[in-house]
A and B are shown apart, each in its own frame.
Chain A
Amino acid sequence: MGGKRQKTAQEQRYQQRVNEKMPRSKTVSQCARAFIAGGLICCIGQAVRVFGETTLHLDAEGVAALTAIVMVFLGATLTGLGVYDKIGTWAGAGSIVPITGFANSIVSPAMEFKREGLILGTAAKMFTIAGPVLVYGIGASVIVGLIACLLAK
């Protein structure tokens, strides 16, 4: 309503009734699924990490980079194969929150808008979903960095 117009009594009554009666999400089972799926994705990430440390003998930075690269690759590939959205339907937040979900949010609009061209379609639309996360994520990291810098002195 933009907060400008006062709600009429009829509107209020109807909205209240809708809120009372509308079917609810099954929060408990969705949380359980998110826990299982998210946990599984993190276990795969951890396995990659261990592989990097023990087999490839990478240092801490190298291991972090390897894990991110592999997980983003997996997320992007599964999106391209048309599997990730099916995982997402089942897992919900469990497949959105990990880095694979971040890859999915960039690859899916890039694929979808390919038909509008590589520049105004794929490139322009690629960050429509991930964009806000990047803007505020990077913004927050700058602020935290500045605070850390000041406190360290």
Chain B
Amino acid sequence: MKQKRLGRQTVVFDAPPRIVAGATIVGDMEGAGPLGGYFDLILEDDTWGEDTWEKAERKMFEQAVRRALERCAMQPAEIDLLLGGDLLNQIITANFAARELAIPFLGLYGACSTMAESLLLGSMLIDGGYAGHVACAATSHFSTAERQYRFPLEMGGQTTPTAQRTVTGAGSSLLVEAGYAGGAQFRHIFVTGGTIGRVVDLGITDANNMGAAMAPAAADTLAAHLREQSRAVSDYDMIVTGDLGSFGSEMFNELCRDKGIDLSDRHRDCGNMIFDPAQKVDCGGSGCGCSAVTLNAFLLRRMEEGDFTRMLFMATGALMSPTAGMQGDSIPGIAHAVVIERR
């Protein structure tokens, strides 16, 4: 029965689905970062003319999906399925945006791993024959995340050196079945497989150190992927993690070394790429939007242009809850991996 599955966590596709378009919308600080030139739209005002940040975030989600479809001259009615999520309670961003888009919708919560989760599920559904066109999206917004998880914005205080800044950004990808012949922004990008992450928790309780909380999950997923695919790090041009940040990346590298995996210089982290250290973001960027916009704006474009041919995109999520945190619980992490190849 399970002929498309390798081992316990990994899936491979018979007819690898394509990513034909991506779209991104970010806030001004992300726009001022090193990837600024790659984003489709940079918002000067983080409320985008709406009266609340939450409404602005859902507008970003909706518009990111619409822009990706426009690149292929498609209408929402031609999309079989929308997969996506965000960081807010009851994933209100995705739910309300899906109301406007009216595409059959499955809402996801994987914290900051959502972009990889949606791509993995979307590809599985396409290869399984359950959908032909799938839109995947994830968003986060600095101001909505701060008020839900931390303190009011105008409250004067300092961040700890391990803290990361939530990215204001919405990223979407359009996945299509292998036989697709319509318009496309990307002509060479395929999702060939992936590894479903397990929830891993080594007992980190510091909500200001999410990189350390997520690093064990990333190492676990990478080890499972390489083992089950019988591949080595050198089979990939790049191992991209979502938002481990600088300290989380350091721990990830160490944990991999413990498992006998040498990442050498192939590891990149979206949280380290999206901001410049001079932007005073402590350990880097975080949030669903961090990996979503870095992938869709930068990585896929570089790959389409032939800069590299195979990457493991591994978005990492800290499954943190303020309630559980106050009750003394630790922060479980998860990481899902998607193999993206240029063919």
Chain A residues at the B interface, C-beta cutoff of 8 Å: 1-3, 7, 10-11, 14-15, 17-18, 21-25, 30, 79-80, 82, 84-89, 91-92, 95-96, 101, 104-105, 107-109, 111-113, 115, 129
Contact = CB atoms under 8 A, between A and B. Distances in A.
A10 B329 CA distance: 17
A2 B328 contact: yes
Nearest to A92: B158
B185 to A, nearest CB: 36
B323 interface: no
B157 A92 contact: yes
B110 interface: no
Nearest to B158: A92
A108 B247 contact: no
The dominant DSSP class at the A interface is helix
B307 interface: no
Contacts of B232: none
A24 B209 CA distance: 12
Contacts of A108: 151-156
Interface residues of B, number: 31
Interface of B: 51-52, 147, 151-158, 160-162, 202-205, 209, 212, 216, 247, 250-251, 254-255, 283, 327-330
Contacts of B203: 1, 7, 11, 14-15
Please give me the 5 A-B residue pairs with the lowest Cβ-Cβ distance, nearest first.
A88-B156, A112-B152, A23-B161, A108-B154, A108-B152
A10 B202 contact: yes
B38 to A, nearest CB: 29
Contact of A111 (B152, B157, B212): B152
5 contacts: A23-B247, A24-B161, A79-B154, A104-B154, A108-B154
